Every structure is written in structure tokens, then in C-alpha cells.
Structure 1
């Protein structure tokens, strides 16, 4: 990774510090990854959005759009719980 890219990524990581407490564990992980220069923030986001495409919008913006198939893990769990209830 180039020095200029690492500097840009470290600047990006600072924005994560302003997230609510519910993400504090993830924030620390991201900060360590970025500080060590082992992984860029862009690469981190791309890999996770590819792994969970249905969560892409939620991962990047903390928003959902169910009509477009963009959900959060909480919505997916609620749907699974409803299916269990309906089956009983």
C-alpha cells in the first residue's frame, strides 16, 4: 500500500470514531487494521459487501431498503423468527 493511500485510509478511520457505542468493538478492529496498514478501508468495505450483498446498503450507510432487497441482519433474523412462529 502506498504511503498516500495509507494516509487517506487513516483519515477515513477517524470518521468511525463518531459512530454510536454499539459499533465500538468494530471500530477498534478497524482502527487496528488501518493503523497497521494491512487492509484499506475500501478493501474492507468491498470484501464485506461482496460477502453479504443483501447487507451492502446497511453496511455502508446504516440504512435499509427492503423493496430493493437491501436489509440488515436484524431484519433477516426477524423474518426467520416469524417463519418459525408460522410453522408452529
Structure 2
């Protein structure tokens, strides 16, 4: 149980780190600004900054899709091992 918790925590941390790095690298202060900007956009319908658009429309969908693809490949691997009775 504890090992599963550590793996899940590592996946979440890695997903956040991947959001920070790319063609436009974000510092921690810029990351906090982006989070506040996104919150204000959804609560008060304010304009998004260019960094927020990069995070929400480019990086975040890629990270979510990568997590979903990894989970589906993991599930298909379990099914294949079950079908062929491979421990």
C-alpha cells in the first residue's frame, strides 16, 4: 500500500514538473502567478495571461493525455498477461 502511495505521489510531482518546463520555462513565482490568474479567470471571468494560455491549452492537455495513455497501456498489459497466463 505504501509503495503504491509513493508511486502515485511521484506521478503527480512529475506531472507538475513537466508543466513547468518546456519552450517557455516557468519559475516558481511565475507558476504561482499562473495559478492565481487561472483561478481569477474561472471565478471572475478575467483575461488569461499568455503564460496561463500556454499552460491551460498546450501543456496541461498533453500531460493529461500522457497519463491516460500510460494508464490504458498498463491496463492492456494486465489483460494480455491474464489471457496468456503469464505471471
Greater RCO (Cα-Cα under 8 Å, separation 6 or more): 2
TM-score (norm 1): 0.28
Q: TM-score, normalised by structure 2?
A: 0.28
Higher radius of gyration, 1 or 2: 2
